[in-house]
Amino acid sequence: MLNKVQNFINKHQLLDNNRRYLVALSGGADSVCLLLILHKLGYAVEAAHCNFKLRGEESNRDEQFCIDLCKRQNIKIHLIHFDTREYAALKKISIEMAARDLRYRYFEQLCRDIDAAGICVGHHQDDSVETILLNLVRGTGIKGLTGIKPINGLIIRPLLVCSKEDINAYLKVEGATYITDSSNLVPDVMRNKIRLQVLPLLREINPSVEHAIMQTASHLIETERVVEGAVETALSNVAFSHNKLTACGCLEIPLKVFLDFSSSAYLLFYVLSPLGFNSAQIKEINAGLATSVGRIWESAEYEITLDALSLVISRKDYKKALHKKFPEEGLYVVDSEHSIRITYINNVEAITSEELRRDPYTIYIDAAQAKFPLILRNVVNGDKFVPFGMTGVKLVSDFLTDLKKNRFEKRNQLLLTDATNLSLWLVGFRTDNRVRYTKKSTQVLKISYIETHNI
């Protein structure tokens, strides 16, 4: 057993002999086995136990058991008490979710406090089998059928190579005792139903069902690598990544990327599932790639729009509605990234044609035609202007459509108006022809929309 675990640690490079690690110790068989094995293998470990105050005296019994175990093994233990029910009510989440949240927040903070390299938890092969079956029941892709990963961020799982039977046998040989959590014996949650009801039935069909499932998972891991390689190649051509989307707030993916891929449905699932879109939505989007122009889908945090040539993904909170007033000339902060500078120019003839062409984010207008305060805001339905060089009034939305701007870009487009709501400037594009300056203008307003770091 020791060699089996050590070989698994070496294979996946889970632990460093020169670093300290936390072991999440509940007092149950899995965590006790993990603590004893890592201690015997010579790793520097400290235990961490959470008392969630959910099972009365049982919770206190578990805590005392962990204290006594660590004392016998000469292992330092960290203890904490949580009012889990109060936290669950406050956050409006289930007791299970509350306990998980509290536990991992505490472990991560403790890792920082004691300079631990990670948190070792007692997940084993049977847990991975249960996870695969759970994902299968709920609906999943290839990734969900590959089981629990040996390492995920700070979480390390050295016992994934061991079955529950292996763990119990090791504890018996060592003469080690452990606590049995009564809640694990009651099939009142889905995972326990899988463990206590579904798996026993599957063993009647195949006594080695766990091994068979893990073999399948191993094959799917290799399949996943091949498929994800193709996916990443397709998306790298358009510079898409989930991290980039988080940072930028909005990204477009040409529809051709999906339509040319061997499975547009899988590529959509890969892109959209992590963003909270469900299988039914993804199926709809896939069916409408070539036909549902203008259709919008939403998840909790993201919005998808199908344009004629692209799939537009935008974070809902990326840009809040903007409405800034500028009472007179001067420099004003617009947001954390941009400012606006308004300056009077009295010598109109000093403005050169080169200056006019230099920067699409600087304009010159007849000061007499604009009434302060000037207002910078998002475009709204019904906004109109007379594009520079034209005489007819045009809806701003139509102008942006002509430029092939998507819904997200339209929604976040800025318009500068005066106090009477006269359009002055569709920022970055055109001034309104009605406020253009001429040789007869006695005073000009120079207005620049600038990145704050360039000031």
Q: What is the 3-state secondary structure (H, E, C) of the chain?
A: CHHHHHHHHHHHCCCCCCCEEEEECCCCHHHHHHHHHHHHCCCEEEEEEEECCCCCHHHHHHHHHHHHHHHHHCCCEEEEECCHHHHHHHHCCCHHHHHHHHHHHHHHHHHHHHCCCCEECCCCHHHHHHHHHHHHHHCCCCHHHCCCCCEECCEECCCCCCCHHHHHHHHHHHCCCCCCCHHHHCCCCHHHHHHHHHHHHHHHHCCCHHHHHHHHHHHHHHHHHHHHHHHHHHHHCCCCCHHHHHHHCEEEEEHHHHHHCCCHHHHHHHHHHHHCCCHHHHHHHHHCCCCCCCCEEECCCEEEEECCCEEEEEECCCCCCCEEEECCCEEEECCCCEEEEEEEECCHHHCCHHHHHHCCCEEEEEHHHCCCCEEEEECCCCCEECECCCCCCEEHHHHHHHCCCCHHHHHCCEEEECCCCCEEEECCCEEEHHHECCCCCCCEEEEEEEEHHHC
- Rounded to whole angstroms, how far apart are CA atoms 376 and 334? 9
The answer to whether 136 and 41 have CB atoms below 8 angstroms apart is no
**What pLDDT shows up at residue 241?**
82
- What integer best gives the mean pLDDT of the chain? 90
Q: Is there a binding annotation on residue 26?
A: yes
With tokens 């020791």, the residue in question is 2
CA distances from 42 to 140, 284, 375 (A): 39, 54, 68
Give residue 77's pLDDT.
97
Tens-digit pLDDT profile for residues 221-255: 999 999 989 999 999 888 888 888 877 778 889 99
Instruction: Tell me the mean pLDDT in the region 161-167.
Output: 95
Q: Does 27 show up as a binding residue in the annotation?
A: yes
Between 101 and 455, the higher pLDDT residue: 101
Residue 115 scores a pLDDT above 50: yes
59 carries a ligand binding annotation: no
Q: Which CATH number fits domain 2-206: 3.40.50.620, 3.40.50.2000, 3.30.1330.10, 3.40.47.10?
A: 3.40.50.620
Q: Cα–Cα distance between 432 and 436 in angstroms, integer? A: 7
Which among 8, 25, 29 has a CA at the least distance from the CA of 149?
A: 8
Q: Is 118 annotated as a binding residue?
A: no
Q: What CATH number does the domain located at 323-454 have? A: 3.50.40.10
Q: Spell 64-100 as b/e; 16+ CB within 10 A means b.
A: ebbbebbeeeebebbebebebeebbeeeeeeeeebbe
pLDDT band at 92 (very low <50, low <70, confident <90, very high): confident
pLDDT band at 265 (very low <50, low <70, confident <90, very high): very high
Report whether 302 contacts 277 (CB < 8 A): yes
The pLDDT assigned to 323 comes to 87
Amino acid at 134: L
Residue 31 annotated as lining a ligand binding site? yes
Q: What is the pTM of this model?
A: 0.63
Given a cut of 80, is residue 433 above it in pLDDT? Answer: yes
234, 261 in Cβ contact below 8 A?
Answer: yes
Report the 10 Å Cβ neighbour count for 226.
10
What percent of the chain clears pLDDT 70, i.e. is strictly above it? Answer: 96
Q: Report angle CA 293, 299, 304 to the nearest 5 degrees.
A: 25
